[in-house]
Amino acid sequence: MTTKTYLVTGGAGFIGSHIAATLLERGETVRIFDSLVTGREINLAALKGQAEYIQGDLRDGVVLKEAMRGVDVVFHQAAIASVPRSIADPTGSLEINVNGTQNVLLAARDAGVRRVVFASSSAIYGDAPEFPKREDMYPAPLSPYALHKLTGEFLCSIFTRIYGLETIALRYFNVFGPRQDPASEYAAVIPRFLSLLSTGQRPVIFGDGEQTRDFVYVGDVVRANLLASTSSKAVGAVINIGAGKHTSLNTVLRIARELLGVQIEAEYRDGRPGDVRDSLADIQLAHRLLGFQPEIDLRTGLALTLESVRQVHAG
């Protein structure tokens, strides 16, 4: 059997490190590319001695060229993945999320890489009133981050059409699971809730808490990426990856409190600019093109995530 080499950009990050670990468990050859600006060395610790690691920046074409050598598939996860951060620093977001993505595609094309699987975002839908969100809906980005991810999708499409580089863009909805950084200023809601509640602190909810999100467990997102790396039907496509269910932040808080056995109330603050009100993925295309079906429900995923949060606090 011919072995393949996989490159995971952002492999020290939350989703990227899970993709790398799963590939290694399957006996694949894995190379990780990360600047460690948002990625964390702790996420690389379990992969040491198994995956090759290149520390580099997406803006450095020379290092990217070296990272692409002999690679068959790229999982492009590296990004400044934050709506608030993109609002605070739109130029920095553009440099990494747009120019960096173009650099990845150019380096992949020049190295003869077969396929790039690009991590996009449901943020591109904005507050479009149609529900659930379908891939053929007109995009309505509300933040620089959302616009930059949409631009990345178009770049992928162009590289497939013009240069013949196989690309697939996966529009992630609200991914959660172990290894999300609860200490980050821009931490996602679930690790922040679990970390604060487990240490007896009140979590903050921006808005009334009735806004909904499609929370999808990271293990399901990893499977979607691996399916996208082999599907012949999905080349050139943009595909939603979510659970196909939406849950309010107040409901997430209630389940988290039940799992922890606490009754701590949230602190409610004014909503933030750029945040969407409701989000729900139509995942029919993912099922049709990838054979993808989510397997981990929200409560099970929260319990698995809580276990990892407790380990962090114990350590």
Q: Which residues are catalytic?
A: 145
Residue 107 tokens, joined:
């380096």
Burial class of residue 229, CB neighbours in 10 A (0-12, 13-18, 19+) = buried
Q: Name every residue whose Cβ is closer than 8 Å to that of residue 111 and which is 6 or more positions away in sequence.
A: 65, 68, 69, 70, 71
Compute the distance between CA of residue 267 and CA of residue 204 in angstroms, rounded to an integer.
5
Rounded to a whole number of angstroms, the CA Rg of the chain reads 19
Cα-based torsion angle of the residue sequence 57, 42, 167, 128 in order, rounded to the nearest 10 degrees: -100
Instruction: Answer for the pair 213, 173: CB distance below 8 angstroms, yes or no.
Output: yes
- Cα 91 off chain centre by: 21
Compute the distance between CA of residue 180 and CA of residue 95 in angstroms, rounded to an integer.
23
Instruction: Answer for the pair 93, 86: CB distance below 8 angstroms, yes or no.
Output: yes
Compute the distance between CA of residue 34 and CA of residue 141 in angstroms, rounded to an integer.
27
